[in-house]
Structure 1
């Protein structure tokens, strides 16, 4: 109920999310995972609008993050070069958010969940190496499940651990993207 109340307090952000996801929904027609993926993305985004804090609208970086999180549902989202735009969008949204001072918990968690959703899906669906698939689950799915479980248990979002020097999930993105590009 609290999440719906927070969404109602941000009608512009709610409208922006709906328009963005409606466009993605149209592009996802006839694709797998397609429209269900986009619908889940919209619902999760709406339920977390309170994490925009004082902002009433989505920032450009938020839109890029949500676009990245929905790449699996879009044409070309699983193609040989699919990892390249995912990495480019990831770099762009972070740079834009920091430059414009538009970082919020919404964008921070959306970034994590977008990576987890897209890269886990791409790896589990298209990576032949069992080792790389297990690494994907460890790098993306396991942390999301852990943080989500803690959030549900505590009733609030916990701080995520942030390694400063070594970012294994970022390194794995490059590995998966290069392996996908090299595969025939």
Structure 2
């Protein structure tokens, strides 16, 4: 069976990574990996027209809010592309949930005026708690929402820290808490040819504590 025909998102990802590993990461193997990954992404998006319309409408609204701002529309366009290319992670669902909408909105805060306010860190935490509770209450947890949550955290908090945090130690800690785990998991997946479990921060782990620290410092800073 071709990778594009696999319905299980994890199985398809493992098959793609194994393809890359068998090819020893040569330019030809990388090109084949990208072509097959793109083919599957397009097919999965075509099978979920409702989700495609929802994501396009949401990002259209966000693009309007991001007009004449930096990073602005470019950030929103990247978010749209990543979302559309990963619709296969919705598994059996053909639409995104309300929780997914909140997650994507959180990840795009840096592109809007809300991202530059003193309250942006507190707002991101509130959206994070709300989308998690909503997903559990409505039983709409999917790999799409799970991974979108991780990348929304990494994108927003890394941006907020590098853009507004003057303390070098706090900035280094932010990179360690959010960007480093994603880079590590990606490297492990490529090296071993299988998708590892993503880091799962909880209230007792460093990423959650860093959110509180960065948000409070940003709120109290003049």
- Please classify the TM superposition score into its range, dividing by the shorter chain length: over 0.9
The match for 2:176 is: 138
Q: Which residue of 1 aligns with 2:92?
A: 54
Deviation at 1:11, TM superposition (A): 0.7
Match of 1:121 among 159, 170, 186: 159
**Structure-2 residue corresponding to 1:7:** 45
Task: Pick from 127, 141, 144 the counterpart of residue 103 of structure 1.
Answer: 141
1:10/1:150 Cα in 2 relative to 1: closer, same or farther (>3 Å)? farther
1:20-169 matches, within 5 Å, as: 20-152=58-190, 157-162=195-200, 166-169=204-207
For the aligned residue pairs, the C-alpha RMSD in angstroms reads: 1.5
Q: 1:55 to 1:154 in 2, by over 3 A?
A: farther
Cα 1:165–1:172 shift into 2, 3 Å:
closer
The equivalent of 2:215 in structure 1 is 177
Question: Distance in 2 between the 1:57 and 1:158 partners?
Answer: 26
Indicate the residue corresponding to 1:17 in structure 2.
55
| TM-score computed with the length of structure 1 as normaliser | 0.94
Cα offset for 1:162?
Answer: 3.0
Query: 1:152 deviation in Å?
Result: 4.7
Uncovered stretches (5+) of structure 1, i.e. residues with no partner? none
Count residues in correspondence.
184
Pairwise CA distance, 1:145: 1.8
Give the Cα separation in 1 of the matches to 2:194 and 2:135: 24
Q: TM-score, normalised by structure 2?
A: 0.79
Rg larger in 1 or in 2?
2
Q: Deviations over 1:121-152 (max 9, x none)?
A: 00011101101000110000111222333445
Q: Distance in 2 between matches of 1:7 and 1:134?
A: 37
Deviations, residues 54-90 of structure 1 (Å, cap 9, x unaligned): 0000000000000000000011212111111100000
* Cα contact 2:97–2:140 (8 A) shared by 1: yes
Runs of 4+ in 1 over 2 A off after TM superposition: 146-158, 161-166
